[in-house]
Amino acid sequence: MPSLVVVGGFFGDEGKGKIISYLAIKDNPTIAVRGGAGPNAGHTIEYENKKYKVRMLPSAFLNKNVRLLIGPGVVVSPEVLLKEIEEFEVSDRTFIDSQCGIIEESHRAADSQGRLKELIGSTGSGTGPANADRAMRTLKLAKDIDSLALYLEDVPNAVNFALERNEYVLVEGTQGTFLSLWHGTYPYVTSKDVTASGICSDIGLGPKNVTDVMVVFKSYVTRVGTGPLKSELSPEQTKIKGWQEVGTVTGRARRAAEFDFDLAKRAIMLNSATQIAITKLDVLYPECAHMNSFGDLSSPAKHFIKTIEDQLKVPVTIIGTGPDVNDIIDRR
């Protein structure tokens, strides 16, 4: 399995960070490389009674053997990146591409007010305005920033060289398919394409060098910010179901709806998925919490997974049964 690309199938926050952490520990890739928009992403990872929140670094950082790379398509906040490098003690194995775009204070200011904040419900992280400047070809790049000099690397070269040596590369997507600038619910989307093709372009991985694409779905759909959400539940209904969640970056409440098979089918198509990961099965079926074996799941939980496989025609290889990295059923 030389390259595995992991992407979100709904509106982000599907639990990619936790799934990627598990894969990094279990599969021991040489490299984990992040594509996607920028520090608008937020992953929450729980492992051995500790809770980690990451916005810039690859979620694979828990495995100390893994080199952590960020591709040139990602815009970087030096402040957020340097803080995470220090906090997670990864300065010896973190590298960003010298062509990563740089988010500055002016981008955050533009993102925290007006149309972007009010109509789109942006995260205020400066990601969208920085990508707009990149398109205008005025954005600074990582190679222009002194404080990043130690961490510069030719990321596409490192990724492709590793694959040539038959080493395993784990590719981390952020956000989700329907937040894609091309394929999502425009204009209520992020500032990039975040489907598997976009993520691969971000890191310089050509289509013929992708071995597997894993699309991550939550057991129900959540969406933070504005934009359409079919069959959206009221906050009261969301609470009764136990589906209430709070965003990692903004602290906003996530809106919720039942699992949407039509959206999921389209996500499978757009990403050419070869595998599915389902997270939060324990939230739908509390009797399944912390289980590690498919055989132990209750009949309704098994039926839910089987319905997904029948409808989407792609195997569910990974199932999340709790927030901890080890709350996983691995059927690969």
d(CA 68, CA 232): 37
Residue 123 contact partner, candidates Mg ion, ligand GTP, ligand IMP, none, CB within 5 to 8 A by sort of partner? ligand IMP
The residue with its CB nearest to ligand GTP is 320
One-letter amino acid of 305:
I
Which residues between 42 and 71 bind ligand IMP (CB under 6 A)? 42
Provide, rounded to whole angstroms, the least separation between the CB of residue 165 and ligand IMP. 32
Q: Of the two residues 8 and 204, which places its CB atom closer to ligand GTP in the complex?
A: 8
Residue 224 contact partner, candidates Mg ion, ligand IMP, ligand GTP, none, CB within 5 to 8 A by sort of partner? ligand IMP
Which residues between 123 and 182 bind ligand GTP (CB under 6 A)? 174-176
Q: Among residues 44, 127, 197, 275, which is the contact residue for ligand IMP, using CB under 6 A? A: 127
- Cis (ω within 30 of 0) for the bond into 187? yes
What angle separates helix 261-271 from helix 299-312, to the nearest 10 degrees?
A: 50
Q: Among residues 2, 83, 121, 330, which is the contact residue for ligand IMP, using CB under 6 A? A: 121
Q: Of the two residues 12 and 29, which places its CB atom closer to ligand GTP in the complex?
A: 12
Local structure of residue 6 (DSSP, 8 states): E
Q: Does 71 bind ligand GTP (CB under 6 A)?
A: no
d(CA 277, CA 215): 6
Q: Does 320 bind ligand GTP (CB under 6 A)?
A: yes
Q: Of the two residues 13 and 97, which places its CB atom closer to Mg ion in the complex?
A: 13
**Residue 153 token pair:** 């690397």
Q: Among residues 17, 29, 73, 126, which is the contact residue for ligand GTP, using CB under 6 A? A: 17
The SS3 of residue 273 is coil
Q: Does 75 bind ligand IMP (CB under 6 A)?
A: no
Which of 225, 179, 229, 159 minimizes the C-alpha distance to 7?
A: 179
Provide, rounded to whole angstroms, the least separation between the CB of residue 328 and ligand GTP. 8
Secondary-structure breakdown of the chain: helix, strand, coil percentages, each rounded to the nearest 5: 35, 20, 40
Q: With beta carbons less than 8 A apart as the criterion, state whether 326 and 23 touch.
A: no
d(CA 312, CA 102): 39
The SS3 of residue 213 is strand
Q: With beta carbons less than 8 A apart as the criterion, state whether 305 and 296 touch.
A: no
Q: Does 13 bind ligand IMP (CB under 6 A)?
A: yes
| Distance set, CA 12 to CA 52, 168, 173, 321 (Å) | 18, 25, 10, 19
Q: Among residues 8, 71, 73, 101, which is the contact residue for ligand GTP, using CB under 6 A? A: 8
Provide, rounded to whole angstroms, the least separation between the CB of residue 130 and ligand IMP. 10
What angle separates helix 261-271 from helix 196-203, to the nearest 10 degrees?
A: 40
| Distance set, CA 63 to CA 28, 101, 187, 321, 327 (Å) | 7, 27, 37, 21, 17
**Residue 13 bears catalytic tag:** yes
Residue 71 contact partner, candidates Mg ion, ligand GTP, ligand IMP, none, CB within 5 to 8 A by sort of partner? none
Residue with tokens 């929140």: 53
**Residue 43 bears catalytic tag:** yes
Residues at the site binding ligand IMP, with contacts judged by CB under 6 A: 12-13, 37, 40-42, 120-123, 125, 127-128, 174-175, 179, 190-191, 224-226
Residues marked as catalytic: 13, 43
Residues at the site binding Mg ion, with contacts judged by CB under 5 A: 13, 42, 248
Residues at the site binding ligand GTP, with contacts judged by CB under 6 A: 8, 12-18, 41-44, 46, 174-176, 248, 279-280, 282-283, 320-323, 327
